[in-house]
């Protein structure tokens, strides 16, 4: 859908009364701004201020106007003071804010946003919703918003187009009309609807929350963990964390607090610059790759970052022994990616939600003792979400521990996870 509006697919495109003709990209570049589902894929400059200036310069903005507009655009998305930072060192949510800032900076006539809140913290989501509401009120741009989060979409929309799994329209109309006439049909198709009082967080029902570490010998022991790329701007400081088998812990906190960084340290992908990290009694960064894979499975925030194979089947089987490969078909079917339909497809041809579930498949098939999951539920419809929650619960019931970095408070409730809040400070992040 966003690709069609942005002139990237076949079909007739009319923007501002002008037909795109044989050169839709030229028309789109002048009038349409698009934020992709994966913000990292559209960042092209090394420094934050240059990233925003790049789009303005491409449109021929005079240098004095660009110099004035760049800090305004960054401040509007909560990135004041980030101008000189490297884009590659930003968190996923900060990269998403930057991508949105760059697209909003020139004031496009048509704004296309594909899952713009996927990596945003609650404050960022509220701020973006308020910004879009103001744009809607003054009719400064036509907004096309692709979003699974119904509580954000419905108050902002003049029209809602609900699509089925086959890409065909289910219903089109004003939000209140769709809720009145098509709510049952939409829910059956897996479309998220606005929450109403009394509705359970998940169709599966909530689980009992964990108020403290599970009993037994700690499987994860983090003591005084700190990390910094730049000593003047530490990301983590003084983190103590324990997980036992069967424990569920949710890393919470605003964008840039260090949730993904802590997850990578626990998973043995990053060495802390302070403190000690132990996984099953050993230093995870010193473990042989085969032993580390047996102990922990890590799922990145961006699914494409971990794809290594040309087909879905090969991706699911990557790194698995014969026993693991024997269970792939069952895992694939459980995740809604049956091999007879998806096995020979390219991972890059899947939707964002399907890519997320694919990234989980080889990790879940391997059955490690610890799952470290970075935003595992973004881009999921209701059916996909419930599949993942059921799978995670089954792993916990079989004795696995889960450490999940997320902004999805629904997931925290449905897993009964123990919150572990990271708060950014002037000298680094601390656990609250």
Amino acid 414: pLDDT: 95
**What DSSP string describes 331-364?**
HHHHTT--HHHHTTS-GGGS-HHHHHHHHHHHHH
Least Cα distance to 331 among 305, 351, 360 occurs for 360
Among 90, 84, 126, CA closest to 256: 90
- Decide: 34 and 110 in contact? Cβ < 8 Å: no
Closest CA to 115 of 153, 167, 73, 164: 153
Q: Residue 278 has what pLDDT? A: 96
User: Is this prediction's pTM over 0.85?
Assistant: no
Residue 313: name the closest of 344, 287, 338, 286 by CA: 344
**φ and ψ at 162, to 5 degrees?**
-100, 125
> Hey, how many other C-beta atoms are within 10 angstroms of the C-beta on 157?
17
Please, what are the domains in the chain? 2-147 (3.40.50.300), 218-431 (3.40.50.300)
Q: Retrieve residue 118's tokens.
A: 């996927």
Q: Which residues contact 362 (CB under 8 A, 6 or more apart)?
A: 315, 316, 317, 318, 319, 320, 324, 328
- What single string gives the DSSP state of each residue in 62-99? -HHHHHHHHHHHHHHTT-TT-TTSBGGGS-HHHHHHHH
**Mean pLDDT split into 10-residue runs, the chain, 432 residues:** 50 57 56 85 93 93 95 94 93 91 92 88 88 88 88 87 87 92 90 64 54 70 93 88 95 92 96 96 93 92 88 90 84 92 94 89 87 91 90 92 94 95 67 52
State the Rg of the chain over Cα. 22
**Cα 395 from chain centroid (whole Å):** 22
Q: Is residue 237 classed as helix, strand or coil in its secondary structure? A: strand
């Amino acid at each position: 859908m966003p690709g069609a509006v942005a002139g990237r697919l076949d079909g007739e495109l009319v923007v501002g009364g002008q037909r795109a003709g044989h050169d839709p990209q030229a028309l789109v570049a002048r009038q349409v701004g698009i934020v992709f589902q994966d913000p990292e894929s559209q960042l092209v400059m090394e420094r934050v201020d240059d990233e925003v200036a790049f789009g303005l310069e491409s449109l021929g903005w005079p240098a004095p106007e660009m110099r004035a507009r760049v800090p305004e655009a960054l401040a509007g998305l909560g990135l004041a003071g980030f101008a000189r930072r490297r884009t590659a060192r930003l968190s996923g949510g900060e990269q998403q804010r930057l991508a949105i800032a760059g697209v909003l900076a020139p004031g496009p006539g048509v704004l296309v946003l594909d899952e713009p809140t996927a990596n945003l913290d609650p404050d960022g989501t509220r701020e973006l919703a308020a910004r879009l509401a103001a744009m809607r009120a003054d009719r400064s741009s036509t907004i096309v918003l692709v979003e699974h989060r119904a509580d954000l979409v419905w108050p902002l929309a003049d029209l809602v187009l609900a699509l089925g799994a086959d890409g065909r329209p289910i219903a089109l109309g004003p939000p209140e009309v769709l809720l009145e006439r098509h709510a049952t049909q939409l829910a059956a198709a897996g479309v998220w609807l606005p929450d109403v009082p009394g509705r359970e967080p998940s169709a599966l029902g909530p689980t009992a929350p964990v108020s403290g570490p599970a009993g037994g010998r700690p499987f994860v022991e983090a003591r005084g963990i700190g990390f910094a790329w730049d000593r003047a701007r530490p990301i983590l400081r003084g983190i103590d964390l324990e997980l036992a088998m069967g424990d569920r812990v949710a890393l919470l906190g605003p964008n840039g607090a260090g949730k993904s960084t802590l997850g990578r340290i626990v998973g043995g992908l990053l060495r802390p610059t302070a403190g000690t990290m132990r996984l099953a009694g050993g230093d995870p960064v010193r473990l042989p790759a085969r032993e580390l894979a047996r102990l922990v499975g890590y799922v990145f925030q961006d699914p494409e970052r971990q794809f290594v194979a040309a087909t879905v089947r090969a991706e699911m089987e990557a790194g698995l022994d014969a026993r693991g490969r024997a269970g792939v078909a069952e895992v694939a079917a459980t995740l809604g990616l049956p091999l007879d339909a998806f096995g020979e497809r390219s991972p890059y041809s899947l939707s964002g939600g399907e890519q997320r579930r694919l990234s989980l498949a080889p990790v879940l098939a391997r059955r490690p003792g610890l799952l470290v999951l970075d935003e595992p539920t973004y881009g999921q419809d209701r059916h996909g979400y419930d599949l993942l929650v059921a799978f995670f619960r089954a792993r916990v019931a079989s004795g696995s521990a889960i450490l999940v970095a997320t902004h999805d408070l629904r997931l925290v409730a449905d897993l009964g996870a123990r919150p572990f809040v990271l708060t950014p400070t002037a000298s680094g992040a601390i656990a609250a």
